[in-house]
């Protein structure tokens, strides 16, 4: 999708399998029983990373000073640090508290951070002379095993009883954390718990995690789904058409659009699928896009789907946990993890060199046990196979088909596998550059990107609607319409029910325009909130109201600006066309461009009903 630019990512967090132990300055030999320290990787940019040590006083007396020590491989170094004095002797690194943060009260904690270069992780950690004893992997003290998958009984409108098999530990299990929809709701010393205060007719997911006598937590158990009795349910959309929306990982930053907004807008009850955008494609593998947004950002109670704030020690936070909570409320929704996009499509060339290895990497990432229950499949957004987008790909016409075949083989027949594909229906255009017909057999559907046909990258115009349904007299380029793209895919043998058309929840515009009708000249892109030449529908609806329609979409001339965008009325006509063509449904880019009451999503849903 032409305008998919990533906002500056926040800090990312990846818990590493090690921790350091800290103790009283006057009694380092007692460190194991009085304090802990854990290392967290807060960000990773390939050639370097951010790190953080957190020291927690688990004893009953204050700690007056602390010194953390660890080893790095020879290719990894600290380049800068804050809130501690960090020095090294060769590969051995030492961090001492600053003058103001040496004292730690019982139950309190302090942290210091650093930036590092290289790929390594710390090892052989110690603090105040004590041996490591505070994280998920402790020399001489293994973390507990995963408890048995909980079973549910005595389910009522507002409560459920949970029971599970005991975990094991070499030094003893102290207690269990009970997690509802990924968030801790109780800590108990027995292997059962009754959860109360639930909502009638609601879906919940429960897991359990054991904690040993050193306060180490083991892996999370399998999950059990619970549906409380009584109440009502959120009916899924009617009909058999796909209603899919893109949720962007970076939307939680400047746009302040969270998964919860799908609920408050009413959109969650009117969609069938979500594409979470984007995972990266690099080194021939699927990779995390923004780890902070994906699985670490702590959402407050008012930002959270469940209405419960994230805690520092829950196994999964971020958008992934919010999607998990959304699926608990709306179990009909399926979520696909989309990889690539405009910015990250350059990595598909390497992926195409070994499709099986690429598919394995994607499968392993999507099925990571921390979030395996969140995703129902994978979406590939390669812009464009054997053609040019942000960069030019020369993988050959068969590469796209081969990658899709490998993904289907690895993910299996029950998973959803889809792809966002070009809508260039011109003679000799991008549809002809790759074997989309051969690949279709491996996919559930194609998201045909029937928008961004025209825009202010042609700074002087002519003005033209960016998402025309059909051709019209004076269109700047033949074949750049929804109807032309769909006709071409059908002609090469792609089944109609595997084709979804795309709706942009935004407009594209020019400035310096005097002509109301399409085809006018311009002086450049119109100003936009986040990027020149593009603006959300929710803004344009009031700032530059529609003055006309052409080729099944709307345009607006206000002052010297000229915009084109879809409205509920034009979406209704496009959805009628989808049904007349026997297509599989529609998708849109992306949720945050809609109004706060989700009027464009409503138009898609009712139009396909």
Per-residue burial over 87-126, b = 16 or more CB atoms within 10 Å of its CB, e = otherwise: eeeebebbbebeeeebebeeeebbbbbbbbebebbbbebb
Residue 288: CA count within 13 A, CB half-sphere: 20
How far, in Å, CA of 320 to CA of 299, rounded?
11
How far, in Å, CA of 501 to CA of 578, rounded?
8
Ordered DSSP codes for 352-408: HHSHHHHHHHHHHHHT-TTTTTT-SEEEEE-S-TTSBSSSB--S-TTHHHHHHHHHH
Which tokens hold the place of 583? 């297509």
Question: Any bridge partners for residue 224, and if so which?
Answer: 206
Which tokens hold the place of 155? 């389910």
How far, in Å, CA of 201 to CA of 180, rounded?
16
Which tokens hold the place of 581? 């063509």
Tell me the angle at which helices 599-608 and 568-580 cross, rounded to the nearest 10 degrees: 30
Q: How far is CA 214 from CA 7, 34, 37, 132, in A?
A: 40, 10, 12, 11
CB 303 within 8 A of CB 277: no
CB 172 within 8 A of CB 212: yes
Per-residue burial over 372-395, b = 16 or more CB atoms within 10 Å of its CB, e = otherwise: ebbbbbbbbbbbbbbbebeeebeb
Ordered DSSP codes for 525-538: EPP-SSBTTEEEHH
Question: Any bridge partners for residue 126, and if so which?
Answer: 69, 131
Establish whether 383 is a catalytic residue: yes
Alpha carbon 474 to its chain's center: 40
Give the list of residues 6+ apart from residue 411 with CB closer than 8 angstroms, or none.
Answer: 359, 362, 363, 366, 377, 378, 417
Which tokens hold the place of 595? 């109004």
Q: Give the count of beta carbons closer than 10 Å to the beta carbon of residue 514.
A: 10
How far, in Å, CA of 302 to CA of 320, rounded?
17
Give the list of residues 6+ apart from residue 75 with CB closer than 8 angstroms, or none.
Answer: 118, 119, 120
List the catalytic residue out of 69, 249, 325, 383.
383
Tokens 């997911």 found at? 205
Which tokens hold the place of 279? 């995972």
**CA-closest candidate to residue 195, choices 228, 219, 237, 220:** 228
How far, in Å, CA of 171 to CA of 287, rounded?
37
CB 439 within 8 A of CB 405: yes
438: left (phi over 0), alpha (psi -120 to 50) or beta: alpha
Residue 294, helix vs strand vs coil: helix
Which positions are annotated as active-site residues? Answer: 383
């Amino acid at each position: 999708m032409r305008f998919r630019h990533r906002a500056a990512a926040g800090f990312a967090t990846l818990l590493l399998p090690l921790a350091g132990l800290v103790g009283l300055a006057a009694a380092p030999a007692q460190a194991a029983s009085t304090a802990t320290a854990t290392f967290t990787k807060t960000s990773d940019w390939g050639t370097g990373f951010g790190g953080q040590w957190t020291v927690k006083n688990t004893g009953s007396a204050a700690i007056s000073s602390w010194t953390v020590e660890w080893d790095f491989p020879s290719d990894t170094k600290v380049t800068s640090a804050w809130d501690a004095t960090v020095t090294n002797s060769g590969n051995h690194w030492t961090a001492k508290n600053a003058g103001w943060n040496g004292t730690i009260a019982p139950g309190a904690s302090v942290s210091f951070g650093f930036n590092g270069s290289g790929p390594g992780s710390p090892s052989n950690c110690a603090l105040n002379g004590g041996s490591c004893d505070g994280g998920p992997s402790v020399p001489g003290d293994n973390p507990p095993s995963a408890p048995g998958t909980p079973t549910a009984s005595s389910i009522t409108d507002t409560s459920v009883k949970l029971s599970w098999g005991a975990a094991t530990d070499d030094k003893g299990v102290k207690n269990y954390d009970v997690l509802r929809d990924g968030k801790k709701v109780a800590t108990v010393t027995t292997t059962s718990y009754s959860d109360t205060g639930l909502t009638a007719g609601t879906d919940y997911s429960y897991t359990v995690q054991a904690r040993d006598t050193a306060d180490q937590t083991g892996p999370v158990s399998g999950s059990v789904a619970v549906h409380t009795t009584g109440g009502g349910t959120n009916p899924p959309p009617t009909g058999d058409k796909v209603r899919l929306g893109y949720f962007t990982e970076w939307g939680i930053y400047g746009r302040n659009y969270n998964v919860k907004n799908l609920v408050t807008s009413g959109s969650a009850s009117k969609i069938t699928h979500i594409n979470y955008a984007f995972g990266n494609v690099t080194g021939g593998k699927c990779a995390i896009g923004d780890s902070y947004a994906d699985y670490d950002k702590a959402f407050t109670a008012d930002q959270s789907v469940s209405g419960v704030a994230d805690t520092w020690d829950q196994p999964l936070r971020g958008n992934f946990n919010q999607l998990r909570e959304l699926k608990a409320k709306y179990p009909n929704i399926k979520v696909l993890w989309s990889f690539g996009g405009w910015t990250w499509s350059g990595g598909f060339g390497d992926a195409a060199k070994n499709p099986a290895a690429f598919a394995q990497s994607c499968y392993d990432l999507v099925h990571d046990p921390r979030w395996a229950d969140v995703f129902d499949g994978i979406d590939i957004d390669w812009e464009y196979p054997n053609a040019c987008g942000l960069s030019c790909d020369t993988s050959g016409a068969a590469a796209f088909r081969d990658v899709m075949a490998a993904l289907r083989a690895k993910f299996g027949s029950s998973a959803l596998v889809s792809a966002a594909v070009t809508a260039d229906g011109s003679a000799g255009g991008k549809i002809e550059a790759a074997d989309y017909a051969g690949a279709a057999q491996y996919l559930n559907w194609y998201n045909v990107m029937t928008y961004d046909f025209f825009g202010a990258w042609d700074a002087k115009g002519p003005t033209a609607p960016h998402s025309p349904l059909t051709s019209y007299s004076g269109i700047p380029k033949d074949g750049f319409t929804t109807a032309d793209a769909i006709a071409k895919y059908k002609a090469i043998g792609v089944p109609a029910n595997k084709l979804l058309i795309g709706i942009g929840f935004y407009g594209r515009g020019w400035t310096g325009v005097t002509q109301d009708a399409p085809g006018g000249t311009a002086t450049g892109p119109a100003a936009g909130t986040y990027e020149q030449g593009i603006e959300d529908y929710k803004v344009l609806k009031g700032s530059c109201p529609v003055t006309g329609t052409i080729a099944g979409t709307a345009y607006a001339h206000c002052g010297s600006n000229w915009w084109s965008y879809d409205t509920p009325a034009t979406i209704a006509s496009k959805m009628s066309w989808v049904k007349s063509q026997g297509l599989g449904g529609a998708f849109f880019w992306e949720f945050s461009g809609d109004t706060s009451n989700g009027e464009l999503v409503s138009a898609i849903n009712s139009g396909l009903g």
